[in-house]
Amino acid sequence: MRSWSFHLQIFFLGHRAEQYRALAKLPQSAILDRSIYEDAHIFARALHHLGNLNERDYLAYRKLFDLVVAGLPAPDLLVYLKAPVRVIYQRILQRARPIESSITMEYLSLLERFYFDWMKSFDVCPVLTIRTDDLDFVHKPGHLDVVVQRIQEKLAGHEEVIFETDR
């Protein structure tokens, strides 16, 4: 992993930037399953933290990332799907994908901490955080309707604050 981490991160950066540019040119809306920002602020940072990406390569990657992202239009919305580590880990175990078999609770906790740090300072576009602990599109189709509605409201800039009347 260590010898290919830098190359892999550069590949992802180029691929995501290319994908992002192509989708930004389309007249209709598009949803990406992974943000270009996550690669730098979460995954490259984790590789660096775990010693799989040395300081020199990490700083070179971050410099290139900053240059690439500066040339991209800001997204209209970031949808942040959030769940506790134990829930994420259970979902990984249930999927039983061989590629995910080495993911540990400790690694997920590290990512959770990095996501928390990133969300505190992310200001590129509005963020809609959706707690997914109990989200179930398969058995509760109404959940999808709620998510779509909230995304549409956020994109339209509509939010409503309701105060309970004093009793």
Q: Give the tens place of pLDDT for each residue, 18-68.
A: 999 999 999 988 888 889 999 999 999 999 999 999 999 999 999 999 999
Q: Give the tens place of pLDDT for each residue, 116-125.
A: 999 999 999 9
Identify the sign of the CA torsion 88, 65, 74, 118. Answer: positive
**pTM for this structure?**
0.86
> What is d(CA 145, CA 137) in angstroms, rounded to the nearest whole number?
9
With bands split at pLDDT 50, 70 and 90, how would you rate the model's confidence at 166?
low
Report yes or no: 12 and 39 within 8 Å, Cβ to Cβ.
Answer: yes
Residues of the chain with CATH 3.40.50.300: 76-157
Backbone angles phi, psi at 163, to 5 degrees: -105, 135
Give the CATH architecture of domain 76-157: 3-Layer(aba) Sandwich (3.40)
DSSP β-bridge partners for residue 129: 80
Q: Is 25 exposed, middle or buried (0-12, 13-18, 19+ CB in 10 A)?
A: exposed
Report pLDDT for 130. 93
Backbone angles phi, psi at 136, to 5 degrees: -150, 90
Report pLDDT for 167. 53
